[in-house]
Amino acid sequence: MTLQSYLDTFPQLADGVFVHPSAQIIGDVSIGRDASIWCNAVLRGDVNRITIGAGSNVQDFAMCHVSHRSAAKPEGAALTIGKHVTIAHSVLLHGCTIGDECLIGMGAIIMDDVVIEKHVMVGAGSLVAPGKVLKSGGLYVGRPAMRIRELTEQEIAHFKYSAEHYMRLKNNYLAQQD
């Protein structure tokens, strides 16, 4: 695993975090308890902060970045991922906020200042344009992503199951390291 400082800021990992050796984590990145960062994922917190909540997983080839602070946008755009979130393979997240227990499908792109509320599924390959708000309980798909229906109780329950599955998986990897 590559953990790298940027200027005077070094990534912070809570107890029980698994980071695959091929992942890159740079700068102002905070990863919560029992989260996992998988093969070739990049979390680059060089010009703003990235926060990953407890029990969340960022899967293979995901790209996570932020927007810098400027006169026009004093806070820039940090990246915040809530608790028990699944970020699938090859997702691109840029300066957005994702609520607890969401699933972001493979290859989705989530742009600056997007807010995704709790219990949302973004379908594979979807594009969420800057500044959009995705309301709780919906399935969003397309380019641009649009709400197409309400999620079922079983789909919402699957979000927590998915996160717990990845916690079991990362525990197996951590046990091999001992």
What burial class does residue 71 get, using C-beta atoms within 10 Å of its C-beta: 0-12 exposed, 13-18 middle, 19+ buried?
Answer: exposed
**pLDDT, tens digit, 9 for 90 and up, residues 11-45:** 999 999 999 999 999 999 999 999 999 999 999 99
Residues whose CB falls within 8 Å of the CB of residue 48, separated by 6 or more in sequence, listed in order: 28, 66, 67, 68, 69, 76, 77, 78, 79, 95
Its domain, for residue 139, covers 2-177
1 has pLDDT over 70? no
For position 56, which CATH number holds? 2.160.10.10
Q: What does the pLDDT look like over 78-112, one tens digit per residue?
A: 999 999 999 999 999 999 999 999 999 999 999 99
Q: What are phi and psi of 60, to 5 degrees?
A: -50, 135
The total number of structural domains in the chain stands at 1
The rounded distance, in Å, linking the Cα atoms of 9 and 20 is 21
pLDDT confidence bin for 130, thresholds 50/70/90: very high
3-class DSSP assignment, residue 165: helix
pTM of the model: 0.96
